[in-house]
């Protein structure tokens, strides 16, 4: 395997598939679907090779493995540089897994313009994988923006009735944040170049910029610009308003990717870029960000309680769950950060599965109003079990994946800031409330009139649907029982992020 550009293969194999599909006649729908699935599986396969070879691979000074470097724009020192560490490894595998599952889950629901859909989906995968693997800030930005357009089309073309409003809102929110990040990236590169006599060599190289002493003014400005981009993507309250709209209108697979991967891009950005590059600024903005995270946790949970639309409920639960992630990141504490990374992966698996399950019932009845549901436990027992399993994982039942991440974040915050942790724990019961209540309304009691009216259309999970859920369920169980599997690979990178943050300040309140 040595010498094989494995990362480039992971990232660009979907692009090859997209190009192949572009040249296929549009009426060969079955072939297009199969080719798209095969492409996504190939990329998944490459990412598994990455997973297998990860521990044996040599790492560079920054702790990155499988590093691939090529010059891209020599005049500006822009490189094509990819590398993987424990954090990005988990997210890359999550992405490739969720992509093929989403493509498989789209076979039934997407019947119009299948060709364009599959091309969009595969290009989306290229962008997401590139974001997680790029070690050059310019390259990172390019991939970051590449994500935008396919998602815009997926929501806008294959979405629900209010899709155009939702998709434009999604694009404009994201673009406003990301463009300021571009200015910040260029400004940091220029600062680096001026310190090296105007030479732009390495000015976008993440590993060279890391540890570069940016002035406080630049740190503050750049941190805020990056923060805006990432906070919108996560999304943190008060930048979250695009999310419920986008989720409700997106097709099922779009929601899965949106919740499963896209939200992680923002959190990943915080860990990869904001903290190590601008440690000073990160320190000074930590308290407000922690407060915003707590607000997100509480607010997301409360708003989820009152939702009447099934998808919107899960969307708001995402806001709440992602609040744990940002909380864990900005308490600058070992357990907290590890918990945040785990929570990212777990949330991707669990919420991805929940959106798939919402899609299942929507396919049957074309309605997501919770009030019209009831009594599904008797009619569709397999569905009820699957939903219950992922619902409990989302609540944070010990033994399932959701528990570990949140628990670590609590533990970390108790050490750092006990008061905040106490608030967060209280909210966890709210989380249990809205999900358990949802389950009760959907599955217990008499079969509702609405479902009765569906007659034979109300079938239990089909084999394909089971196939999409099984891998996610297995992983949720596996990571719940053996979190050490994931913690082992993220230990090194999270410690190095924290070193970068703590190395620059002498005293941090509550640091153990």
Partner 1 sequence: MTGPELAAIAPFGYVVALAVLVILADIVRPGDERVTIVIGTVGTLVGLVLVVAVGLGGTVQPVFGGAYQLDPLTTFLDMLFLAIAFLTILFSPDYLRPRHYPLPEYVATLLFAISGAMLISAARDLLVLFLGLELLVLPGYMLVAYAKRDGLATEGAIKYFLLGSFSSAIFLFGLAFTWGYTGTTSVAGVASHLQQVVTSGQVPAAGLLMGLALMTTGVAFKIAAVPFHYWTPDAYQGSPTPVTGYLSVGPKIAAFALILRLFAEALAPMRADWVGVVVVLAALTMTLGNLVALTQDNIKRMLAYSSIAHTGYILVGLAAFAGAPAGSSAASAGIAGVLFYSAAYTFMNLGAFAVVAALQGRPGVTSQIATFAGLGRRAPLAGALMLLFLLSLTGIPPTAGFFAKAYVIEAALQSGGLVPWLAVIAVVNAAMAAFYYLRVVVVMYMQEPAADAQPVTDSRPMRLGLLIAAVATVLIGLVPGLLIPMAQAAAAAIQ
Can you tell me the distance from the alpha carbon of 163 to that of 169, in angstroms, rounded to the nearest whole number? 10
Q: How far is the CB of 166 from partner 1 (least distance, A)?
A: 11
Binding mask 372-391 for partner 1 (x = CB under 8 A): --------------------
- Interface of this chain with partner 1, residues 11 to 40, rule: CB under 8 A: 26
399 CB neighbour count, 10 Å cutoff = 13
76 binds partner 1 (CB under 8 A): yes
Angle separating helix axes 381-395 and 334-365, nearest 10 degrees:
160
CA atoms within 13 A on the CB side of 258: 35
57 binds partner 1 (CB under 8 A): no
183 binds partner 1 (CB under 8 A): yes
Q: How far is the CB of 145 from partner 1 (least distance, A)?
A: 5
Q: How far is the CB of 278 from partner 1 (least distance, A)?
A: 17
Peptide bond into 120 cis (omega under 30): no
370 binds partner 1 (CB under 8 A): no
Which residue, 194 or 369, has its beta carbon nearer to partner 1? 194
Can you tell me the distance from the alpha carbon of 286 to that of 288, in angstroms, rounded to the nearest whole number? 6
Q: Are 411 and 352 in contact (CB under 8 A)?
A: no
Residues 6 or more apart whose CB falls under 8 angstroms from that of 7 comprise 50, 66, 68, 82, 83, 84, 133
Can you tell me the distance from the alpha carbon of 166 to that of 228, in angstroms, rounded to the nearest whole number? 20
Report residue 410 CA to chain centroid gap: 21
149 binds partner 1 (CB under 8 A): yes
432 binds partner 1 (CB under 8 A): no
145 binds partner 1 (CB under 8 A): yes
Q: How far is the CB of 248 from partner 1 (least distance, A)?
A: 16
Can you tell me the distance from the alpha carbon of 94 to that of 41, in angstroms, rounded to the nearest whole number? 13
153 binds partner 1 (CB under 8 A): yes
168 binds partner 1 (CB under 8 A): yes
DSSP state of 433: H
Which residue, 72 or 450, has its beta carbon nearer to partner 1? 72
447 binds partner 1 (CB under 8 A): no
For partner 1, which stretch binds (CB under 8 A), given 137-145, 247-255, 259-267, 355-363?
Answer: 137-145
Run of H or E including 81:
strand 78-84
Q: How far is the CB of 459 from partner 1 (least distance, A)?
A: 31
186 binds partner 1 (CB under 8 A): yes
Tokens at 182, concatenated:
């571009």
Run of H or E including 135:
none
DSSP state of 273: I
Binding mask 101-120 for partner 1 (x = CB under 8 A): ------------x--x----
Q: Are 400 and 477 in contact (CB under 8 A)?
A: yes
Which residue, 198 or 455, has its beta carbon nearer to partner 1? 198
| Closest alpha carbon to 300 in 287, 281, 286, 317 | 317
180 binds partner 1 (CB under 8 A): yes
**Token match 């920054």: residue?**
62
175 binds partner 1 (CB under 8 A): yes
Which residue, 249 or 465, has its beta carbon nearer to partner 1? 249
Which positions touch partner 1 (CB under 8 A)?
26, 72-76, 113, 116, 138, 141-142, 145-146, 148-149, 152-153, 156-157, 163-164, 167-168, 171-172, 175-176, 179-180, 182-183, 186-187, 189-190, 198
């Amino acid at each position: 395997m040595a010498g094989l550009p494995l990362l480039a293969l992971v990232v660009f194999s979907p692009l090859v598939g997209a190009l192949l599909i572009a040249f296929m006649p549009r009426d060969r729908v079955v072939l297009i679907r199969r080719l798209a699935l095969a492409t996504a599986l190939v990329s998944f396969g490459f990412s598994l090779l990455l997973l297998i070879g990860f521990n044996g691979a040599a790492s560079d000074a920054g702790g990155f493995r499988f590093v691939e470097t090529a010059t891209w724009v020599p005049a500006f020192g822009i490189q094509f540089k990819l590398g993987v560490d424990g954090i990005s490894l988990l997210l890359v595998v999550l992405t490739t897994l969720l992509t093929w599952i989403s493509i498989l889950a789209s076979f039934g629901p997407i019947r119009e313009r299948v060709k364009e859909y599959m091309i969009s989906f595969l290009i989306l995968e290229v962008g997401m994988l590139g974001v997680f693997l790029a070690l050059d800030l310019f390259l990172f930005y390019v991939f970051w923006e590449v994500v935008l357009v396919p998602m815009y089309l997926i929501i806008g073309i294959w979405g629900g009735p209010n899709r155009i409003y939702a998709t434009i809102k999604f694009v404009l929110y994201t673009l406003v944040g990301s463009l300021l990040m571009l200015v910040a990236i260029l400004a940091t590169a220029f600062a680096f170049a001026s310190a090296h006599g105007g030479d732009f060599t390495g000015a976008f190289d993440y590993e060279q910029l890391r540890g570069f002493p940016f002035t406080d003014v630049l740190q503050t400005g750049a941190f805020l610009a990056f923060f805006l981009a990432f906070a919108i993507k996560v999304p943190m309250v008060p930048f979250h308003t695009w999310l419920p709209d986008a989720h409700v209108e997106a097709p099922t697979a779009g929601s899965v990717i949106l919740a499963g991967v896209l939200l992680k891009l923002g959190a990943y950005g915080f860990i990869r870029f904001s903290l190590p590059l601008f440690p000073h600024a990160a320190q000074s903005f930590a308290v407000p960000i922690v407060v915003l995270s707590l607000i997100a946790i509480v607010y997301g949970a409360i708003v989820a309680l009152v939702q009447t639309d099934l998808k919107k409920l899960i969307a708001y639960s995402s806001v709440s769950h992602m609040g744990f992630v940002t909380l864990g990141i900005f308490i600058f504490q070992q357990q907290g950060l590890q918990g945040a990374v785990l929570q990212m992966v777990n949330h991707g698996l669990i919420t991805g599965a929940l959106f798939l399950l919402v899609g299942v019932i929507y396919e049957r009845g074309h309605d997501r109003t919770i009030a019209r549901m009831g009594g599904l436990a008797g009619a569709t027992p397999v569905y009820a079990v699957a939903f219950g399993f992922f619902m409990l994982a989302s609540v944070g039942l010990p033994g399932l994946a959701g528990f570990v991440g949140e628990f670590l974040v609590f533990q970390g915050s108790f050490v750092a800031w006990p008061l905040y942790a106490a608030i967060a724990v209280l909210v966890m019961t709210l989380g249990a409330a809205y999900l358990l209540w949802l389950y009760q309304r959907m599955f217990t009691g008499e079969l509702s009139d609405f479902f009765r009216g569906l007659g034979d259309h109300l079938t239990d999970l089909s084999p394909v649907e089971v196939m999409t859920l099984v891998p996610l369920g297995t992983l949720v169980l596996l990571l719940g029982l053996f979190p050490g599997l994931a913690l082992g690979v993220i230990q090194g990178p999270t410690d190095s992020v924290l070193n970068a943050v703590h190395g620059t300040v002498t005293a941090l309140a509550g640091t153990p």
